């Protein structure tokens, strides 16, 4: 009697575990959660919870929160830990004062350096803003309108100004989360378009004036009175 051949065994393919998040990735995930209103100002960034959520060591979480504190997106309270910053009304005014001092001059440089390719990319970005506005997606609109200013700084090519504006933009978003007046549009639909028109026309003076007006308009849309925000858990924010 011939032996019965055993059916061939299936090879079990081992799935490689996803690579651990880097400190930069953790920083960006927390920052994005703040900008998307999933984490509100005042929320404590508990190291143990974040380490569990991101499946990384507490050391990596600590490095990310140290960077958030350095960029003033978070604040460290001795013996308590790191908390998402809650700008006061005066701090909100200071942020816009700083932006009015920096961005008109920065957009002058952008006007000098912008190429047709830059203009095309910026127009495409503004079209994305319009789409978010039309769909009523306020969170996406807030992120996109803030990113527009960072793109202008990138075109200018001044790394120091770009880093400074990135910090100010994050603080601006925190201010808008806390103080944006209901029903008051933070950014008029055509203001970025008109800025781009001036940049494309190489009219640096007009671009600077439009930027100043734009920032004044955004600040005027804030209701600088403290509000209570419902706090979400860290787990809910990153679910």
Tens-place pLDDT, residues 133-142: 999 887 788 8
* Entry pTM: 0.75
Confidence of residue 37 (pLDDT cuts 50, 70, 90): confident
Report, as an integer, the average pLDDT of 223-238: 67
CA 107 to CA 208: how far, in whole Å? 6
Give DSSP secondary structure letters for 105-125: HHHHHHHHH--HHHHHHHHHH
pLDDT at site 32: 84
Q: Where in the chain is the domain with CATH 1.20.120.530?
A: 89-220
On the question of pLDDT at 189 being above 50, the answer is: yes
Q: Which CATH code for domain 23-86?
A: 1.10.10.10
Report, as an integer, the average pLDDT of 48-55: 93
On the question of pLDDT at 12 being above 60, the answer is: no
On the question of pLDDT at 181 being above 90, the answer is: no
Q: Where in the chain is the domain with CATH 1.10.10.10?
A: 23-86
Let me know if 4 is exposed, middle or buried by CB neighbors in 10 A (0-12, 13-18, 19+). exposed
| CATH match for 89-220 among 1.20.120.530, 2.40.50.140, 1.10.287.3510, 1.20.1530.20 | 1.20.120.530
Report, as an integer, the average pLDDT of 113-134: 95
CA 44 to CA 235: how far, in whole Å? 12
On the question of pLDDT at 1 being above 50, the answer is: no
């Amino acid at each position: 009697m011939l032996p019965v051949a055993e059916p061939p065994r299936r090879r079990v393919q081992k799935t490689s575990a996803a690579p651990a998040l880097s400190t930069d990735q953790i920083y960006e995930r927390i920052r994005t959660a703040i900008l998307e209103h999933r984490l509100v100002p005042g929320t404590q960034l508990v190291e143990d919870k974040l380490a569990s959520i991101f499946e990384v060591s507490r050391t990596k979480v600590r490095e990310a929160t140290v960077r958030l504190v350095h960029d003033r997106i978070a604040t460290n309270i001795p013996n308590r830990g790191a908390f998402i910053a809650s700008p006061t009304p005066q701090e909100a005014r200071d942020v816009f004062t700083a932006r009015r001092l920096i961005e008109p001059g920065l957009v002058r440089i952008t006007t000098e350096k912008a190429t047709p390719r830059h203009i095309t990319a910026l127009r495409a970005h503004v079209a994305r803003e319009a789409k978010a506005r039309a769909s009523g997606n306020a969170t996406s609109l807030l992120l996109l309108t803030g990113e527009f200013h960072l793109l202008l700084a990138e075109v200018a090519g001044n790394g120091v100004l770009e880093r400074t504006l990135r910090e100010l933009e994050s603080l601006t978003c925190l201010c808008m989360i806390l103080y944006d007046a209901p029903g008051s549009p933070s950014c008029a639909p055509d203001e970025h378009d008109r800025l781009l028109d001036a940049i494309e026309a190489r009219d640096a003076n007009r671009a600077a004036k439009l930027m100043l007006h734009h920032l004044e308009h955004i600040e005027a849309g804030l209701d600088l009175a403290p509000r209570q925000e419902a706090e979400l858990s860290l787990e809910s924010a990153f679910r």
